[in-house]
Structure 1
């Protein structure tokens, strides 16, 4: 395999693909989640379980789709193959928006954890630190897929081990009296389940990471599915055990007001105040790893769309296995948002953009799972027996329902702002399609029709 500049590119192996999924799912949010859901009671642990089942179903769907279309782009590829250019563009545009806005939010969050290590600084110093958190992962990406994989593997291990340490050791200090009530206020438990789930929903975004990078994964038909499921389960173990350990070691009334729940858990287990430094260091490593992975994701989606003439051609060029224009564009846009946040003082605008990421992440999920349902029901399926067909259809519908729940949990403000931002991309689509040569459009239409005829000619083996 060679890049557009003629140099050979390296591909990710299965271990790196797994850490890419885990690293992108587990960002900095895990370090605040226990305190965020504590006000709803221990019913929030049940919400974690429900969300984990939905996330695994979604990961299985992406694995099946990647086996059918083992190309870079993931949800974009599936939506375009099923529903045409416009649906594919909406998927790519929405996901691309989510990645670079999320990167800006991650960088700002990382500065907060750095304060624990270095002490509070000036606004100018905070801005420099935030920009460094954005550009160091970008430089690692520009160095090539090999360095992306190295950074992702090391950062995932370094953040996974201390989290797992707290989770496992916390079981020896677990006190049921700290758990608090199942539902706060003695109300209907379903209300607490829904409310806590709305906070936890975004914590599983990233299950699609291996599918999006399928073109850079060795043996994607096999490894993407394994990486998606194993990475999601690994992240779920960290989430569930870590949250359970914090719930059982920190008194409920203290946990509700905690600003560093994992630090409080370590302090409760061993005494002293060194837990804050330990957890802050783990958080910085976690955020750096997440930024490394999401920077790659922010380049892969426009790369796939550029190959089809739906994004500017410059996004479709690679160097050392990485779409350089996509990496630079994402870093520049995220940097601009970060500068606005620190210098203009318009925190409200930045918060609105962060809300958009919640909605933007779900649009590709809905389109991808709907595409799988379309492929299965329209006869465009592999030579599979009835049992496999039924299983895949149930998983696809479950993934669609989970994605729909993600939209509902995002809240009215996020959906409203997200839809406006999504529709703003329509003019970009019109511009790109209008400028695309007529011959290229005709050739792509012929290829799509040929693919449809080949699928229709396949023998029907499903009873």
Structure 2
């Protein structure tokens, strides 16, 4: 539950306004129409839907070689993720505008830091969308054979990207509906496995506490390196704060509830698989949830059932990440740091931003299939494991900046200490994410950031020239 202080935060500066009235259910979108704003259920579904992707269906097998001590790593990471969620909630109280980490970094450290947060996050979203769509085709192939020819698979991947994009273009009402439905549909089978695992649980299947030869600390760190990115998406409600009803209150609650809910699903689902599939079999499993379903309920239908659940899960992720990409570029474009066209909005959604996102992701997808090799594609995906962490680190730094500088006036000392401890844990978690990305990801990710510096130089110069003309006029 989101923790509030005894005294509300001071009102933000005049420029720190939302994109519409903070408490209305419907707001103008700049075209005379009314647009539906997200309430707590939709905002929570956005967080959970973006965190829980397709990776969960392989996680138990990925961490099984380290033994059940990997569940301890899950617990440690959950603490860090919830601390980060609380930080985003506090920052949204202070500045409830669309843009999330971009807005927080820019307010605290200026245009350049804000641009880096937006640039890194934007790259992460559309590259990840291409990766999600390609991975989803693998699950679709279990239900409908599409991988027999690479161009049939490519077409399927493009369709999986464009359908959520069309839902985004239709407006926030449809985005929210798709996100809620897909989140419910993905949770039902995962919770079914978790609950079913309680009745089919056999402690003999767990295997050793430490299966490898590492020390306890080494095993936890190794398992954590695999699990670190399972919580990406915790910022989802904050990025869309301008479209959330009563964002100062709702964003924090949705972020914490969504992150905690995802953690429960992760932990229970993984524990259920550990307890129903023998450890020596799980280590080599390519479909651990399918094996668990077959063990719990008999038969051999687990493969298509899990494939269907994974396909729904990834479609929901594509829907949410498309919105996140468009909202980030929209926020930066409004401040003159991204091209102005990306600031166009319709029915509460930056439609140009959605179009650019799906176009870039589609081009990357076609490139992947045309090249006949996944090497370039895998390199770009690896880059996103680092670029995703940049906005987190800048956001936690912004929170520490506000706490140390004393900008949160009239807050009691107890709340100040709590916020400082939470922000410190979130900062450590963000640094851990950077370390977990690996040397190659950091090296290549920094090159992408430096390429963004050149773009920032052009956009900042254009912004300065426009401001000079306005002053002269």
**Fold-level similarity (TM above 0.5):** yes
- Matches for 1:221-300 after TM superposition, within 5 Å: 221-300=248-327
Give the deviation of 1:443 after TM superposition.
9.3
Tell me the SS of whatever aligns to 2:348.
coil
* TM-score with structure 2 setting the length: 0.92
Find the aligned partners of 2:196 and 2:50 in 1 and give their Cα distance. 25
1:126 and 2:153 are equivalent in the alignment: yes
- Matches for 1:61-460 after TM superposition, within 5 Å: 61-119=87-145, 120-438=147-465, 440=467
1:201-259 residue CA offsets vs partner (Å, 9 max, x unmatched): 01100000000000000000000000000000110011000000000000111111111
Find the aligned partners of 2:308 and 2:152 in 1 and give their Cα distance. 19
**Larger helix fraction of residues:** 1
Please list every run of 5 or more consecutive structure 2 residues that lacks an aligned counterpart in the other structure.
1-26
Tell me the SS of whatever aligns to 1:425.
helix
Find the aligned partners of 1:417 and 1:244 in 2 and give their Cα distance. 35
Structure 1 stretch displaced more, 293-302 or 111-120: 111-120
Q: Residues 220 and 116 from structure 1, CA distance in 2 versus in 1: closer, same or farther, beyond 3 angstroms?
A: same
Find the aligned partners of 1:359 and 1:439 in 2 and give their Cα distance. 34
1:33 and 2:33 are equivalent in the alignment: no
Tell whether the 8 Å contact from 2:336 to 2:463 is kept in structure 1 after alignment. Answer: yes
* TM-score with structure 1 setting the length: 0.94
Find the aligned partners of 1:171 and 1:260 in 2 and give their Cα distance. 20
- The aligned residue for residue 453 of structure 1 is none
Find the aligned partners of 2:416 and 2:470 in 1 and give their Cα distance. 32
1:389-438 residue CA offsets vs partner (Å, 9 max, x unmatched): 00011111111100000000111111111111111101111111111144
Q: Residues 141 and 105 from structure 1, CA distance in 2 versus in 1: closer, same or farther, beyond 3 angstroms?
A: same
Give the deviation of 1:9 after TM superposition.
1.9
Please list every run of 5 or more consecutive structure 1 residues that lacks an aligned counterpart in the other structure.
445-463
Tell whether the 8 Å contact from 2:67 to 2:212 is kept in structure 1 after alignment. Answer: no
Give the deviation of 1:57 after TM superposition.
0.3
Q: Aligned pairs, how many? A: 444
